Amino acid sequence: MAGDEAAIRARFGLGWPGFRLDVDLALPGRGVIALFGHSGSGKTTLLRCLAGLERAADGYLAVRGELWQDEAQRLFVPTHRRPLGYVFQEASLFAHLTVRRNLEFGLKRVPAASRRIPLDQAIALLGIEPLLDRMPGRLSGGERQRVAIARALATSPRLLLMDEPLAALDVKRKQEILPYLERLHAELDIPVVYVSHAPEEVARLADHVVLLADGRALAVGPIGEVMARLDLPFAHDEDAFVVIDARVAAHDEAYALTRLEFAGLPLWITGLDMPLASRVRARVLARDVSLALTERHDSSILNVLPARVVSLDEADPGRTLVRLDVAGTALLARITRRSAAQLGIVPGRDVYAQVKGVALLR
Ligand SMILES: Nc1ncnc2c1ncn2[C@@H]1O[C@H](COP(=O)(O)OP(=O)(O)OP(=O)(O)O)[C@@H](O)[C@H]1O
């Protein structure tokens, strides 16, 4: 991705006693990039470097062809001159201004010529029309956060930074706001760097993941890849899963099923009320995948996919975690160690993955 005008290049090294951030990242210039990692791993520090709120002595940052920092030539665009939106855990709205005035206030520093996202569009995207005349004190936490996101968007940022925007909300409010975030993703061409430590959120929203540990990027890559890496903690979670991006290929009305398709393969799921060709993201849990050596059709399992064993992890004495390649898409299977031995599961072996459950993420 180096040299790619459409990408984000970020290199920062800075720290204080007890912590050092040291990253050199090549990221896609579109979609949602999740910064994931334990508390104290450096997520907020990295976000602040991207925003120009921290200045790394040897830092470099180019966002889709625009240079925001290059210390080699002593270039550093200050935060207020960077076209970026920053959404925090708690929305900071002016309490004495209505929602509408808050939105207009946010626009003040943006010259009319650089407003690519009309205020009306931002309002519509976040569904906040009914709130425009309210005072912030009369909004729920989720509503406030939607206003804060609309305010950030209306400034037409070239980069949107979100620091755990849902962390302060309860589960119900989170569920309410996620569809709006998904809409941003589908309808706007702005890269979003999204800090989270909730795997479900990351799985729903992210296209790309940066896993941080002790200030370093332990893994960087497309979500489907990173979640399935056996050398990373995700795959070892009790609820480990992979995400599969697919499209709606057909509906079987008689049996109330929908056939999704990914990499030319079918994936049946409980009937969806979605038009053909819609893009969806599905989740398959490692524990819902079993393996067979032949393509059996004498079981109740609907989804049987040809797969190749890529690698195994036997850290757990009773169970084997198997990473599979299904026509270029990664899948995880968790089976007993005894089954793995009896079936002769070794890297390179062709098998059939029996998928017991597929859930829709978005
Ligand atoms: N300005 C600062 N001065 C000194 N130490 C700091 C400063 N900012 C952050 N730290 C420390 O640096 C480390 C990384 O902090 P950071 O906020 O980036 O982590 P994080 O991954 O965002 O954590 P969390 O998920 O808890 O928000 C932590 O140990 C934190 O206490």
Block residue for tokens 């070794």: 346
Identify the CATH assignment for 8-222 out of 1.10.10.60, 3.40.50.720, 3.40.50.300, 3.40.50.170.
Answer: 3.40.50.300
First to last CA, the chain: 28
* CA nearest ligand 1 atom 18, residue: 42
Q: Return the SS3 of 152.
A: helix
Query: Average pLDDT of the chain?
Result: 91
Domain parsing of the chain, residue ranges: 8-222, 241-245+277-360
- Tell which atom from ligand 1 comes closest to the C-alpha of 21: 14
Strand order, beta sheet including 359-360: 265-270, 257-262, 241-252, 279-285, 359-360
Of 14, 23, 44, 214, the residue with max ligand 1 atoms within 8 A of its CB, to mutate for a pocket test, comes to 44
Same fold, 8-222 and 241-245+277-360: no
Q: Would you state the structure tokens that stand for residue 31, as one six-digit string?
A: 């979609």
State the Cα–Cα distance between residues 321 and 330, nearest whole angstrom: 13
State the Cα–Cα distance between residues 153 and 83, nearest whole angstrom: 11
- Tell which atom from ligand 1 comes closest to the C-alpha of 195: 22
Which position has the higher pLDDT, 300 or 248? 248
- Tell which atom from ligand 1 comes closest to the C-alpha of 212: 21
275 Cα to the center of ligand 1, angstroms: 45
Comparing 31-35, 55-59, 119-123, 168-172, which segment has the lowest mean pLDDT? 168-172
- Tell which atom from ligand 1 comes closest to the C-alpha of 37: 21
Of 12, 20, 21, 41, the residue with max ligand 1 atoms within 8 A of its CB, to mutate for a pocket test, comes to 41
Which position has the higher pLDDT, 183 or 252? 252
* pLDDT tens column, 81-118: 999 999 988 888 999 999 999 999 888 877 877 788 88
Which position has the higher pLDDT, 311 or 238? 311
Comparing 31-40, 164-173, 342-351, which segment has the lowest mean pLDDT? 164-173
* pLDDT value for 91: 81
Per-residue pLDDT, averaged over 165-173, amounts to 82
For domain 241-245+277-360, is the CATH number 2.40.50.100? yes
Indicate the angle between helix axes 141-154 and 99-107, nearest 10 degrees: 30
* pLDDT tens column, 255-271: 999 999 999 999 999 99
State the Cα–Cα distance between residues 208 and 27, nearest whole angstrom: 8
pLDDT at 1 over 60: no
Block residue for tokens 């007890």: 18
CB-based pocket (< 6 A), ligand 1:
16, 19, 37, 39-45, 197
Q: How far is CA 247 from CA 243, 251, 259, 261, 312, in A?
A: 13, 12, 9, 5, 29
State the Cα–Cα distance between residues 28 and 13, nearest whole angstrom: 21
Classify residue 266 by its DSSP letter: E
